[in-house]
Amino acid sequence: MTIKKKKKRKFIFIVGGVMSSVGKGVTSSSISSILKARGYKTTNVKCDMYINLDAGTIRPTEHGEVFVGEDGIESDQDLGNYERFTGNVMASENYITTGQVYNEVIQRERNLFYAGEDVEVVPDIPNEIIRRIKVAATKDDAEITVVEFGGTVGEYQVLLFLEAARMMKLKNPNDITFVLVSYLPVPAHIGEMKTKPTQHAARTLNSAGIQADFIIARGVHKIDTPRRERLATFCNIAPDHAISAPDVSSIYEVPLILEEEKMSTKLLKKLELKPRKNDMTKWRNLVKRINCCTKEVTIGIVGKYFGTGEFTLADSYISVIEAIKHGSWMNNIKPILKWVDSEEFEKHPEKLKNLKQYDGIIVPGGFGTRGIEGIIKTIQYVRENKIPYLGLCYGMQLACVEFARNVMKKTSAHTVEIDEETEYPIIIVNPSQKKNIKTQQYGATMRLGAYTAILKEGSTVQKIYGKTKISERHRHRYEYNNAYREEMEKKGLEVVGVNPESNLVEIIELKNHPFFIGTQFHPEFKSQPMQPHPLFCEFVKIIVKQKK
């Protein structure tokens, strides 16, 4: 009898030091992508420290965008970066939270899984973390799994995750490596890059029983030799394991930056894996193309999650922003994105004419009442003034409401999300959703993940996609009301994509307009730099044509 040898799987743990938001997600994605370019099968896992079971109930301004995976997981925005950098498809298994871990352990205890033993935080919680990480590696049949821990070392809530990683390393020392992504500040009054905070972070990691093998030195500049040596001496790593990662103009340069320092070769050596061919051609071509784009178009993003400053904005809509960039670069265009707060138009309708300065307008997804009348006014303006328009989810629903009000003359038309009693419910709630709302079952109960749509033969969207059967990702509770379809189509707003099983409307387009398309789904989640989404490509293409 031949015994099948168990597949050896390797794991790279990415932890943060000094402060968060310095690019751990992009580093994890880039590491996965450079190892993939070496011919290794990789996957990524994000561990979030929250008690939340998923990111679905977290405010975007607090946590960034809620990214939706193929199977409907509502996850941290980092999973979006993993997909964009690697082309790998992320699902529930690739996203782990403290809440999931405890939930599972408690459920098992109720099912007598622990056979009368008392259930302890250690080792039962780290063991469940390990089990989940391995499930993800197995699901994706990955030779190398890159596991990112949210937050920074030294935070109380990351301890059990560090403990899990330490236990894995103890068992299989050659299969695990640790990468500390740390920030080297340059205080203005000194003008010199400081390594001390990173030294403290490395020590904090030591106190959890973990030695960093690599340090990604994030900062405004490259690290010089003295600093490299200091990191080596005081953080106990090889000097060539201090990897310089200075700020770059595009995140898609990061894989190349890491490879300049031979990161993939060093990681493979550390993990005792054979080096395979290295092909970074497509990354080099991408960066070359990005840097060649000088011609600009200005796109306005009209929404309401604009309360807490520029920084938050970019995070709340990261997939939309990236998709616009991907589509623009494909057209050799550099997009200039402007944030437009829809509430402004409610207070000052005369400002609507300022929308003329934008070459195209996007209304992204959203929820609730605030800023909605301003969005509807915006859509009326772009429809009447023939400004290219792309409405994503809420942006599609509100386009239908606007059309009903101003073209079909049903002035009180609305979505029942805002006005339950409206005389003309253009957007309604699915019967299955009614119970969820009534019983406040809000977590993971929306229409989530990938659904098929059949596109209307000869429609603009069918030509754009170049096929009639598509699959796109969803995240919404409300739907187009088919009762108004006939009347709406007669007046020019056509349904051009429908789900074959449920007959739910998935895409609309307006006749006699250069570009006016609304999608019930979120095309932005599937756009990748190497494979931009066709809707975003065409949107920019039409904008460029209009501009001429």
User: What would the x/- binding string for ligand GLN be over residues 316 to 355, using CB under 6 A?
Assistant: ----------------------------------------
| DSSP 8-state code for residue 29 | H
Q: At closest approach, how far in Å is the CB of 507 from ligand GLN?
A: 14
Q: Based on the shown chain and the rule CB under 6 A, indicate whether residue 387 belongs to the binding site for ligand GLN.
A: no
How far apart are alpha carbons 106 and 123 in whole angstroms? 14
Q: What are 403's two structure tokens?
A: 């059309």
Reduced 3-state DSSP string for 63-117: HCCCEECCCCCEECCHHHHHHHHHCCCCCHHHEEEHHHHHHHHHHHHHCCCCCCC
Q: Which of 393, 506, 537, 538 is catalytic?
A: 393
User: Is the four-CA dihedral 14, 18, 21, 27 of positive or negative sign?
Assistant: negative
Active-site residue, selected from the candidate residues 63, 241, 522, 533? 522
Q: Is 367 in the site for ligand GLN (CB under 6 A)?
A: yes
CB closer to ligand GLN out of 235 and 393: 393
Phi-psi region of 430 (alpha: psi -120 to 50; beta: other; left: phi over 0): beta
Residue position matching structure tokens 């794991």? 11
Please choose, out of 17-25, 129-137, 452-460, 470-478, the segment that lies near ligand GLN by the rule CB under 6 A: 470-478
State which of residues 53, 477, 492, 544 lies at the interface with ligand GLN (CB under 6 A). 477
For the sheet containing 505-510, what is the strand order?
333-341, 295-303, 360-363, 389-392, 516-519, 505-510, 493-498, 447-455, 469-476
Choose one: 120-128, 360-368, 452-460, 497-505; the region binding ligand GLN (CB under 6 A): 360-368
Residue 370 within binding range of ligand GLN, rule CB under 6 A:
no
For residues 394 and 484, which CB has a smaller minimum distance to ligand GLN in the complex?
394
Give the C-alpha separation, 255 to 99, whole Å.
32
When asked if residue 252 is in the footprint of ligand GLN (CB under 6 A), the reply is: no
- Exactly one of 513, 524, 533, 537 is catalytic; name it: 524
Q: Please give the structure tokens belonging to residue 1.
A: 């009898």
Q: Is-catalytic flag, 522?
A: yes
Interface segment toward ligand GLN; rule CB under 6 A; list 235-243, 320-328, 369-377, 475-483: 475-483
Q: For the window 151-180, what string marks contact with ligand GLN as x by the rule CB under 6 A?
A: ------------------------------
Residue 546: other Cβ atoms inside 10 A: 15
Residue 476 interacts with ligand GLN (CB under 6 A): yes or no:
yes
* DSSP-derived secondary structure for 382-414: HHHTT--EEEETHHHHHHHHHHHHHTS--TT-E
Judged by CB under 6 A, the residue of 475, 513, 533, 541 near ligand GLN is 475
Q: How far apart are CA 206 and CA 401, in angstroms?
A: 58
Write out the H or E segment, with its range, that includes residue 281.
Answer: helix 281-292
Q: Return left, alpha or beta for 371; rule: phi > 0 is left, psi -120 to 50 is alpha, else beta.
A: left
- Which CB atom, from 365 or from 374, has the smaller least distance to ligand GLN? 365
In this chain, which of 126, 365, 449, 532 binds ligand GLN, going by CB under 6 A? 365
Residues facing 333 on adjacent strands: 295
Taking CB under 6 A as the rule, does residue 108 contact ligand GLN?
no
Pick from 17, 56, 154, 366: which binds ligand GLN (CB under 6 A)?
366
Q: Which is nearer to ligand GLN, 199 or 397 (CB)?
A: 397
CB of 525: closest distance to ligand GLN in angstroms?
11
Select 448 or 542, whichever has its Cβ closest to ligand GLN. Answer: 448
Which residue, 405 or 476, has its beta carbon nearer to ligand GLN? 476
Interface with ligand GLN by CB under 6 A: which range of 207-215, 277-285, 365-373, 493-501? Answer: 365-373
- Closer residue to ligand GLN (CB): 93 or 322: 322
Rg of the chain taking only CA atoms, in angstroms? 25
CA–CA dist 313, 55 (Å, integer): 17
Confirm whether 524 is a catalytic residue: yes
CB of 505 to ligand GLN, least distance (A): 12
Half-sphere exposure in the Cβ direction for 473 (13 Å, CA) = 23
Using CB under 6 A as the binding criterion, the count of chain residues that bind ligand GLN stands at 11
Among residues 394, 451, 465, 539, the one that binds ligand GLN under rule CB under 6 A: 394
Assess 393 for contact with ligand GLN (CB under 6 A).
yes
410 vs 447, beta carbon nearer ligand GLN: 447
Q: What are the φ and ψ backbone dihedral angles of 429, each rounded to 5 degrees?
A: -100, 135
478 binds ligand GLN (CB under 6 A): yes
Question: Catalytic: 538?
Answer: no
Spatial separation of the C-alpha atoms in residues 357 and 298, rounded to whole Å: 8
Distances in Å between the Cα of 39 and the Cα atoms of 6, 106, 274, 320, 348 are 20, 40, 11, 30, 56
If one asks whether residue 414 binds ligand GLN (CB under 6 A), the answer comes out as: no
CB of 227 or CB of 485, closer to ligand GLN:
485
427 - beta bridge partners?
415, 480
Query: Residue 64, interface with ligand GLN (CB under 6 A)?
Result: no
Alpha helices in 173-262 (DSSP H): 196-207, 225-235, 254-260
If binding is defined by CB under 6 A, does position 428 make contact with ligand GLN?
Answer: no
**Residues at the interface with ligand GLN (CB under 6 A):** 365-367, 393-394, 397, 417, 475-478
- Positions marked catalytic: 393, 522, 524
